[in-house]
Amino acid sequence: MLIEIRNLTKQFRKGDETITPLHDVTLDIDRGEFVSLMGPSGTGKSTLLNQIAGIDRPDSGTVTVAGTEITRLSRSRLARWRAEHVGYIFQTHNLIPVLTAYENVELPLLLLPFDRAERRRRVQIALEAVDLVDRADHYPRQLSGGQEQRVGIARAIVADPTVVVADEPTGDLDPATSEQILDLLQRLNRELGTTLLMVTHDAQAAAIANRQLRLDNGQILEIEHSLESVSSQTERH
Amino acid sequence: MLKFLPYILKTLWRHRARTLLTFSGAAVSLFVFCFVVALQEGLDRLTSQSDSTLVVFQANKFCPATSHLQQDYDQVISKLSGVREVVPIQVFTNNCRASLDVVVFYGVPPKKLRSVRDFELTAGSWAEFETNQDAGVVGQAVARRRKLKPGDRFSIGEVTVTVAGIFASQNKAEENYIYTHLEFLQRTPGLNLVGTVTQHEVVLDPSADPSHVAAQIDERFRGGPIQTDTRTKGTFQAASLADLVDLIGLTHYLGYACLGLMAVLILTTNFMSVQDRIREHAVLQTMGFSGELVFSLIMIESVLLSFAGGATGILTAVTVLANAGIAVSAEAVSLALTPSISLAVIGLLLSIAIGVLAGMLPALTAARTEIVPALRAA
Ligand SMILES: Nc1ncnc2c1ncn2[C@@H]1O[C@H](COP(=O)(O)OP(=O)(O)O)[C@@H](O)[C@H]1O
Ligand SMILES: [Mg+2]
């Protein structure tokens, strides 16, 4: 298994009240899977995603990604681990406003031991994948919402991470643009074999994944697991 | 770190109004600070100077206009052991009090001038000076202020001299004086000064004990018609500038206050910049930027700002100090404000230190920010 989540519990205290968005969650995600995570607002979808992305810590339980138990890493080693292994697609305000599309996509590569030429090559490939080569020198404010999100996706995949997580990536977009973005994510999964975990509260969006999960009352429910799609992924590798 | 420079510079550029204001504040602070230090350095130069030179003045007199010694005291003084040379000097000034544009004439025996001063003429000739009764050599700072060149005639009150040369000296304070013939000043119409001088300058052998010789001189004239007060040149000049010394001590605090202000200004800018970018820093950290890296980026931003601003202020101050020939004078002693290497270096180091100091807290705040709450807040 690529991602192994074991007995994960996360609580928040709000005054006297304690909420438990994740209660003893156990979940496996395989390499190459495209998993969608659904559920009403405020159930803890982002919280779970953030545990996998290594930007938050559980109260108990473990997350192991590609053999590394990330819940045990120190703050600075975890940052290093994120640079190498995670691509994160945000809902909005994804990009650094002072940097061009090109520079935004290059940013994660600056943390890794790539020289200038190698960085250029990779940024080029990532921008091609999202079909934005001609917008490389544009600043975020010069891009449409959909284009901005595509730059965000290019940035998430540029370092060839172990897992890409997306937190409501279409939450702020109109239906037509949403569809484009979902198509793009699906293509990344099919053509590049990217392991994808996408949070959404839109059932239609969730349906494009080959595995659909639902989070409710701190528990994970398996809605649909299209084995065919998974095995086709396995064949490809 | 160089890879991140475009990000840092573009961030500064994005808020260029704020950046420019902070930059200007830093520049002005260092500019003022440089003047304060130059003042202090000028004073230190005057008061620490020439332990082996004594100045004999009339006892209990302060302004050169009121000190009158017998000129022939020089005969007596030069016979004392340890004395190498005695130069009788008549001083004439247009203003005894502390002021910025004082003109001071020093009348000396023309043949002796070159042996007791290190002057180099940058224009004119020594022969012209030595052969003409009314000739004067003018320090280049005065020449610059008053726009004088050889051949010009120059008057203060009843004294009119012809400029024979412009001189430069290692001792920048000297460049604020005009040297004339002793006899010429003594014969100034209206002043009956023939036979008397303002002071005697006594050059000692290096082996002589200055305070011992000074005591001997004052002892020698105790019973005479005019009593003397003899001090080393440094002490004499410090006493002449006494009123200014306190003031300069005060400006020192103002100089440091300026730096404090600059630190607060940069601190404020840094905090604003960090507050503006809480989400941006959370995004960077999500991407894998470590807290240490975020810390460094903000520190570099802060130091760049304070260093660039400070360096500009220092450069401006050094240029002005080098070219304007600014001097403060009192009782015919001039304190020259000049630039120095130490001034520039101290200024630059302080700029960097202020950048570091003012960057620390905002950078730490940004580096310690919890990622998830920062992302949720925006
Ligand atoms: N840092 C936090 N502090 C306090 N409460 C939080 C924090 N993060 C999330 N929560 C709470 O946990 C619950 C789940 O949040 P979240 O994972 O963002 O939900 P979802 O993404 O499913 O909308 C919500 O009730 C939210 O208010
Ligand atoms: Mg959420």
Please report residues of B whose CB lies closer than 8 A to that of A117: none
User: Over the stretch B55-76, which tens digit does the pLDDT of each residue have?
Assistant: 999 998 888 888 899 999 999 9
Residues B323, B38: contact at Cβ < 8 Å? no
Cβ–Cβ of A108/B288 closer than 8 Å? yes
Q: What is the mean pLDDT of the segment spanning B181-205?
A: 89
Q: How many CB atoms lie within 10 A of CB B234?
A: 19
pLDDT for res B63: 82
Chain A residue numbers with beta carbons less than 8 Å from the beta carbon of B9 are none
Instruction: Give domain status of residue B53, yes or no.
Output: no
| Domain final residue, candidates B177, B198, B226 | B226
**Helix count (H) and strand count (E) of chain B?**
14, 14
pLDDT score of A230 more than 50: no
CA of B362 to the centre of ligand 1 (A): 27
Q: Does A75 touch chain B (CB under 8 A)?
A: yes
Measured from the Cα of A199, ligand 1's closest atom is 21
Does A197 have pLDDT greater than 50? yes
Contacts A–B by Cβ distance under 8 A: 70
Ligand 1 shell residues, CB under 6 Å:
A 12, 19, 21, 39, 41-47; B 372-373, 376
Q: What is the mean pLDDT of residues B147-161?
A: 90
Neighbours of B138 (CB within 10 A): 29
pLDDT score for B50: 63
From the CA of A43, give the closest atom in ligand 1: 22
Question: Are B80 and B138 part of one and the same domain?
Answer: yes
Please list the residues that pair with A164 across neighbouring strands.
A87, A196
Q: Would you call B245 an interface residue with chain A, using a CB distance cutoff of 8 Å?
A: no
pLDDT number for residue A234: 44
Residues B218 and B212: their CA atoms lie apart, in Å, by 10
Residues B82-129 pLDDT 10s = 999 999 999 998 877 777 778 899 999 999 999 899 999 999 999 999
Question: What's the farthest any 2 CA atoms get from each other in chain B?
Answer: 93
Cross-chain Cβ contact A80/B285 below 8 Å: no
Q: Is A99 on the interface with B (CB under 8 A)?
A: yes
Q: Is the pLDDT of residue B290 over 80?
A: yes
Q: Which residue has the higher pLDDT, B325 or B306?
A: B306
B129 and B191 share a domain? Answer: yes
Whole-angstrom distance, CA of residue B165 vs CA of residue B180: 11
Question: Among residues A178, A121, A122, which one has the least CA distance to residue A149?
Answer: A178
**Tokens representing residue A119 in the block:** 């960085």
Please tell me whether residues B291 and B363 are part of one structural domain.
Answer: yes
Closest residue to B286, CB basis, from A80, A88, A93: A88
Q: What is the mean pLDDT of chain B?
A: 91
A233 pLDDT exceeds 60? no
* Closest-CA residue to B228 (of B260, B253, B202): B202
Tell me how crowded residue A181 is: count the other CB atoms within 10 A of its CB.
Answer: 22
Scan residues 203-222 of A and list those with Cβ closer than 8 Å to B.
none
Which of A12, A18, A202 to mutate to test ligand 1, by most ligand atoms within 8 A of the CB atom?
A12
Does B6 share its domain with B94?
A: no
Based on the fold, state whether residues B204 and B80 are members of the same structural domain: yes
Nearest-CA distance B277 → chain A (Å) = 10
With 50 as the cut, is the pLDDT of residue A236 above it? Answer: no
Mean pLDDT to the nearest integer, B194-221: 92
Say how many domains are in chain B: 2
CA of B375 to the centre of ligand 2 (A): 10
Instruction: List C-alpha distances in Å: B338 to A150, B141, B171, B298, B342.
Output: 60, 11, 10, 36, 11
Query: Does residue B259 have a pLDDT over 90?
Result: yes
> Strand A17-29 relative to strand A3-14: parallel, antiparallel, unpaired?
antiparallel
Alpha carbon distance A209, A212 (integer Å): 6
Contact at 8 Å (CB) between A91 and A167?
yes
What pTM does this model have? 0.86
Confidence label for A38 from pLDDT (cuts 50, 70 and 90): very high
**B372, pLDDT greater than 50:** yes
Q: Domain of B79?
A: 61-226
Give the distance (Å) from ligand 2 centre to CA of residue A46: 4
Separation between Cα atoms, residue B288 and residue A155, nearest integer Å: 12
Residues 142 to 161 of A: which have CB under 8 A from any B CB?
155
Give the nearest chain B residue to A164 (CA atoms). Answer: B287
String of DSSP letters for B228-280: EEEEEHHHHHHHHTHHHHHHHHHHHHHHHHHHHHHHHHHHHHHHHHHHHTHHH
Kindly state whether residues B79 and B219 are assigned to the same domain: yes
In a domain, B52, yes or no: no
Q: Which of B1, B284, B286 to mutate to test the interface with A (most CBs of A within 10 A)?
A: B286
Confidence of residue B319 (pLDDT cuts 50, 70, 90): very high
B24: in domain: yes
Across A30-90, where does the E strand assignment appear?
34-38, 60-65, 68-69, 86-89
Chain A residues with beta carbon closer than 8 angstroms to that of B294: none
Going by CA atoms, what residue is nearest to atom 3 of ligand 1? A12
Check pLDDT > 70 for residue B232. yes
Q: Note whether A88 contacts B287, CB cutoff 8 Å.
A: yes
Neighbours of A3 (CB within 10 A): 21
Query: For residue B321, is it within any domain?
Result: yes
Q: Is the pLDDT score of A45 beyond 70?
A: yes
Q: What is the arithmetic mean of pLDDT over A103-117?
A: 96
Nearest to B67 by CA among B239, B246, B243, B247: B239
Side chain identity at A46, as an amino acid letter?
S
Superfamily of domain A33-56+74-236: P-loop containing nucleotide triphosphate hydrolases (3.40.50.300)
Task: Give the mean pLDDT of A53-68.
Answer: 96
> What mean pLDDT, rounded, does chain A reach?
92
Ligand 1: residue whose CA is nearest its atom 24: A42
Same domain, B202 and B288: no
Q: Which residue among B10, B286, B288 places its CB closest to the CB of A99?
A: B10
| CA-based radius of gyration for chain B | 28
Confidence of residue A227 (pLDDT cuts 50, 70, 90): low
Res. B224 pLDDT band, cuts 50 70 90: confident
Asked if B59 and B227 count as a contact pair (C-beta separation under 8 A), the reply is: yes
Q: Which of residues 6-65 of B touch A (CB under 8 A)?
A: 6-7, 10-11, 13-14
* A232: closest CA of chain B, how far (Å): 31
Taking the alpha carbons at both ends of chain B, their separation in whole angstroms is 28
Partners of B285 on chain A (C-beta within 8 Å) are 55, 79
Shortest Cα–Cα distance, B300 to chain A (Å): 17
pLDDT of residue A224: 76
- The answer on B268 and B168 residing in a single domain is no
Task: Give the residue-averaged pLDDT of B31-42.
Answer: 93
- pLDDT, residue B52, reads 86
Whether residue B109 is contained in a domain is answered as yes
Q: Which of B288, B257, B289 is nearest to B363 (CA)?
A: B289
Both B211 and B279 in one domain: the answer is: no
Convert the pLDDT of each residue in A160-188 to its tens digit: 999 999 999 998 899 999 999 999 999 99
Strand partners, B199: B57, B89
Residue with CA closest to ligand 1 atom 6: A12
Crossing angle (nearest 10°) for helices B291-324 and B16-47: 50
Q: How far apart are CA B167 and CA B120, in angstroms?
A: 5
3-state SS, residue B120:
strand
Strands A219-225 and A196-199: unpaired
Q: Is B179 exposed, middle or buried (0-12, 13-18, 19+ CB in 10 A)?
A: buried
- The amino acid that residue B47 corresponds to is T
**Domain shared by B34 and B127, yes or no:** no
All residues at 6 or more sequence positions from A17 whose CB lies less than 8 Å from its CB, including other chains: none
The shortest C-alpha distance from A159 to chain B (Å) reads 10
Give B98 Cα–ligand 1 centroid separation in angstroms.
72
**Atom 10 of ligand 1 has which residue's CA nearest to it?**
A12
Long-range contacts of residues A220-229, Cβ cutoff 8 Å, at least 24 apart? A220/A25, A220/A26, A220/A27, A223/A38, A229/A34
Say if residues A35 and A196 touch (Cβ distance below 8 Å). yes
Q: If you take atom 7 of ligand 1, which residue's CA is the nearest one?
A: A12
Spacing, Cα A21 to ligand 1 middle (Å): 7
The pLDDT of residue B193: 83
The residues spanned by each domain of chain A are 33-56+74-236
Share of chain B above pLDDT 70, in %: 99
Q: Which of A14, A25, A47, A216 to mutate to test the pocket of ligand 1 (most atoms within 8 A of CB)?
A: A47
Q: Which of A50, A79, A94 sits opposite B288 (nearest CB)?
A: A79
Check CB contact under 8 Å for A56 and B371: yes
* pLDDT score of B194: 86
Nearest CA in chain A to B282: A55
Cβ neighbours of B288 in A, within 8 Å = 79-84, 86, 108, 111
